[in-house]
Amino acid sequence: MCRLLLITVTALTCLSSAWGQSAGSYVGEIVGQDVYIRSGPDKSWYAVTQLSAPTHIKIVGAEGEWLKIEPPEGCFSLISKQHVQRDGEVGTVTSDQVRVRAGSLLQPSKMDKVQGQFNRGNTVSIIGETEEYYKIKPIGAVLYVHQSYVHPVHEGAGTAAEPTIPTSRPAGSMPSLSSVTETPTPAPHRRAAATTQPAAAGPLSTLENANKPAADHKPASAAQAAFDAAEKKLIEEYKKDPDKRDYKGLRDTYAAIAADPDCGPLKPLVEYRMKYLEWEMARAGDVILVGAIKRQTEAEQKELDEARKKTIREPNDPTLAPITETLRGRLAASTLFTGRGFYPKRWTLRLDNTGVILAYLEESTATVRLADHEGWRVAVTGKPHYNAALKTNLLEVSSVERLPGGEPDAAPPSPTTLPSKPPVVEPTADWSAPAPPPPAPAGLAAPAAPAAPAAAAAPAAAPAPASQPATPVNAEEYN
């Protein structure tokens, strides 16, 4: 028991320090969403693409906390067109020490990172171009990802399986989990033969290798078999539409594997799978909630549309009865719309007591002849509408009826003549009389008063003004 505990502790210790290994290559798995892949080993270097779980990458080394990885599919390098002779999709370098730079899918203007140099005669594979550069497939270049976003799947230069190269995608898009392919799953750590040198990148300590022969290993455990089956089921589920995937069933399957005492080194990966599926379940719940809100909104909008149809009449709606209106008043021919110009002939309907025009009338059918009822007080029925060009109400008359006692007048009323009288202005003082003499000094006789002027002739009577006709009270179309 103590020996088994020592082996387990040693394996976990080596696993936690696997990122520091620089020899060999192994497969890692992205454990986050929209993880930046950068051109250099620091956050100050520009990002070239983004990857999301459960994408696999090939790790070829480390630099501090940053892992060196092979460029994922879709990434590219840049080389100046001035130093390349192109022949179709192949280019030949024509100068020495030509710099190759890291291109970015996220920030096309960035190209500061120099990945290496090509010399005269080297060939490159051209996959695109910009105004000044060719986009080429990376050769011997590396990109960087922070170790906190990667989980090791396989260690060991001689035992690592060929990784599934992920597909790069633009920033902000959801990961394409339909592209997940079945990849080798981590097997239980096997005991290697005793050697004088430690394994190149093996996770187990040399203590175990020295004390156990190579033939002494156990077959795959039940936990390993259950994990393999769960991985296959995961791949099959992700081939379905997102709303039909059984995230909860998958999560319960991995939870049962994690509870197995023989899970051992599989437990970190199983726990990651559980967290990822829980995140998917939460996202699916949000999608369901949004769908419910959308359906409720559409139902409420439909109710509003039905209520609107009951209150607002759409023009020419055949499902609704036509609007009719009946007006009563004195009928007369319009002097503005005589039918000789652009507009058709129209009539006016006025109030008897004020002469105010209620509406302009039009004949809607050939059976209605408004001219036969001119001067009569009538009741007209028809379809009303507002003419925006004329800024007035019109009634398309469908029927007309003479009202009792509404006969036309024998003669039109004559204009009333009002007399005109000039205003009378009463003078307040006689300014034509001379001023009175000043008083005489003491001892002197007062001077004689001047003779009074002859009486002014009475003004002649003003001629009678000509009579002015008053404005007709019922002038038509006074506007």
pLDDT digit string, tens, across residues 144-180:
999 999 988 854 433 333 333 343 444 333 333 333 3
Pick 24 or 279 by higher pLDDT: 279
What's the CATH code, domain 325-402? 2.40.50
**8 Å CB contact between 216 and 257:** no
Between CA 397 and CA 370 the distance in angstroms is 9
Residues facing residue 73 across a β-bridge:
167
* Domain definitions of the chain by residue range: 219-315, 325-402
Please, what sign has the CA dihedral across residues 290, 295, 298, 300? negative
Contacts for 105 with CB less than 8 Å, ≥ 6 apart: 48, 49, 74, 75, 168, 170
pTM higher than the cut 0.85: no
The rounded distance, in Å, linking the Cα atoms of 222 and 228 is: 10
pLDDT in tens, 53-83: 989 999 999 999 999 999 998 999 999 999 9
End-to-end CA, the chain: 112
CB of 322 within 8 A of CB of 383? yes
Tens digits of per-residue pLDDT, 232-272? 999 988 888 887 888 889 999 999 998 888 887 788 888 88
Please tell me which residue, 204 or 17, carries the higher pLDDT value: 17
Q: Strand pairing partners for 382?
A: 325, 397
pLDDT tier at 212, thresholds 50, 70, 90: very low
Dihedral over Cα of 386, 388, 394, 398: its sign: negative
C-alpha 19/C-alpha 368 separation (Å) is: 98
3-class DSSP state of 4: helix
- For 431-478, what is each residue's pLDDT tens digit? 566 666 666 666 555 555 555 555 545 555 555 544 444 444 344 554
